[in-house]
Amino acid sequence: MKPLGIGGLLTLVVTGALALIWGPGAVRPGIIFGLLATGLQAAATAVLEPARQAPFDHLIARWGLGVGFRLGGVLLVALAVLLDRGRFPPLPTAFGFLGVMVPLLFLELRRWR
């Protein structure tokens, strides 16, 4: 459950930075998409973890599923911006998602060493 705790903390930090840069209108996309990134990364990690010692083809299939989760998050960012640009301005929404997802991806890479 490490991605959940770190992701929650990152969500708070990123949302605070977004609020300082873009004002109070950036809080909603920061929280929503920071928590979305946290949940998707936690799900991707949970799917991949049992396959760490599995044969390569099983590992690749689960890795692909995790990549699909993350790509789905990117698509949700685009969809939110396209459907309601007033509530989800493009830059705060994208930074809310990527500001949490990218550090969590680097932490996942460190776990695989």
Dihedral of alpha carbons 14, 12, 88, 28, sign: negative
pLDDT values of the chain reduced to their tens digit, one per residue, 113 residues = 577 899 999 999 999 999 999 999 999 999 999 999 999 999 998 888 877 777 777 778 888 999 999 999 999 999 999 999 999 999 999 999 999 999 999 998 777 66
Residue pair 10/100 in contact by the 8 Å Cβ criterion: yes
Domain span at residue 57 reads 2-111
pTM above 0.85, yes or no: yes
Quote the pLDDT of residue 112. Answer: 67
Cα 98 from chain centre: 6
64-75 residues labelled b (16+ CB within 10 A) or e (exposed): eebeebbeebee
Quote the pLDDT of residue 94. Answer: 97
Tally of domains within the chain: 1
Closest to 76 measured CA to CA, from 54, 100, 94, 95: 94
